Amino acid sequence: MISKKDLYKLMWNAIQASLKAGEAILRVYETDFSVSNKADNSPLTRADMEAHSLITDVLKDTEIPLLSEEGKDIEYLERKDWKLFWLVDPLDGTKEFVKRNGEFTVNIALIEDGFPLGGVIYVPVTDELYIGIGDSGAWKFTAVKHIIAKKSSLDSFLANGSKLPESILSEQYIVVCSRSHMSNETESFIAELKETHGELDFISKGSSLKLCMVAEGRADIYPRFAPTMEWDTAAGQAIVEAAGGTVVEADNGDRLRYNKEDLLNPWFIVKS
């Protein structure tokens, strides 16, 4: 079991890595970038690869293995005995990046024994950052670059954030859904929610921002009945859970788990 002191040091490294990746992503975002397709037909840009390279470079000194969407070709036989590892999506929401709507993030999670121990999500366009750290709690930061320039440790940095969840009142039950992935199963689940909660409010968001909305208390639930990979959800799960919420498999209610042989997530439900 990793100590709180060591965990704080590692999450401070993750914050530094996320900001460096965010800067690289914005440099590409401001150009007339090109888009190619991966084997699964999902989009890939130079921003994905540059962010991956920078995160890998920053975190290599931790001597903790790293599994990233852009470096995912690590055999299960090699990683199955990892007790502690980084799980990274250098640019989550590449479709939103290509659409230029700003709803993309850098996701970095620390996984211990198959579950998220800490997570960082950085939003480059708005310069916002979310962090969840085990039993310590979850926070949201704005104007991150301004804050971090004056800080030298995670303890001092956390004092400048807003503890999550925030006190946000709404008379209606709020559902957050994917901006790019709506399935028939999701629509059926929402119909069941209407029977229980009456009229619903809806928010559409891209990337891991949906999990952040639940962690903040700005949404009550995020149902996901469409494909996601482990690196899409790990950092967000750490933040939601540190804020007091849950991320569970839709079929059985088990906590979403990581470093499976198949890195595809099952359907899941996020609740505040």
Selection from 170, 182, 247 nearest residue 215 by Cα? 247
What pLDDT score does 179 carry? 61
Residue 187 has a pLDDT of 84
- The per-residue pLDDT for 180 is 59
**DSSP-derived 3-state class of residue 239:** helix
> Which pLDDT value is given to residue 39?
56
What's the pLDDT tens digit per position in 198-254?
A: 989 999 898 899 999 999 999 999 999 999 999 999 999 999 999 999 999 999 999
- 3-state per-residue secondary structure call for 55-120: HHHHHHHHCCCEEEHHHCCCCHHHHCCCCEEEEEEEEECHHHHHHCCCCCEEEEEEEECCEEEEEE
Percentage of the chain beyond pLDDT 70 is 95
The tens digit of pLDDT for each residue in 127-172 reads 999 999 999 999 999 999 999 999 999 999 999 999 999 877 678 9
| Of 154, 192, 155, 157, nearest in space to 173 by CA | 192
Burial zone of 226 (CB within 10 Å; 0-12 exposed, 13-18 middle, 19+ buried):
middle
Mean pLDDT of 54-72: 93
At 73, the pLDDT band (50, 70, 90 cuts) reads confident
Q: Copy the structure tokens of residue 5.
A: 């002191």
Per-residue pLDDT, 23? 97
pLDDT of 43 > 80? The answer is no
Whether the CB-CB separation of 243 and 138 falls below 8 Å is answered with yes
CA 204, CA 98: separation in Å to the nearest integer?
17
pLDDT of 38 reads 63
Q: Which of 7-16, 32-41, 81-90, 195-204 has the lowest mean pLDDT?
A: 32-41
CB 170 within 8 A of CB 176: no
Q: Indicate the pLDDT class of residue 183, thresholds 50, 70 and 90.
A: confident
DSSP reduced 3-state for 224: strand
| Rounded Cα gap, residues 110 and 120, in angstroms | 9
- Residues 86 and 153: their CA atoms lie apart, in Å, by 20
Q: What pTM value is reported for the model?
A: 0.94
Mean pLDDT of the chain, nearest integer: 92
Residue linked to tokens 């059926």? 188
Q: How far apart are CA 173 and CA 171, in angstroms?
A: 7
pLDDT, residue 37, reads 67
Average pLDDT over residues 59-70: 95
The predicted-structure confidence for 255-269, as pLDDT tens digits, reads as follows 999 999 999 999 999
Domains of the chain in start order, with CATH, are 4-164 (3.30.540.10), 173-271 (3.40.190.80)
Least-confidence region, from 21-30, 83-92, 186-195:
186-195
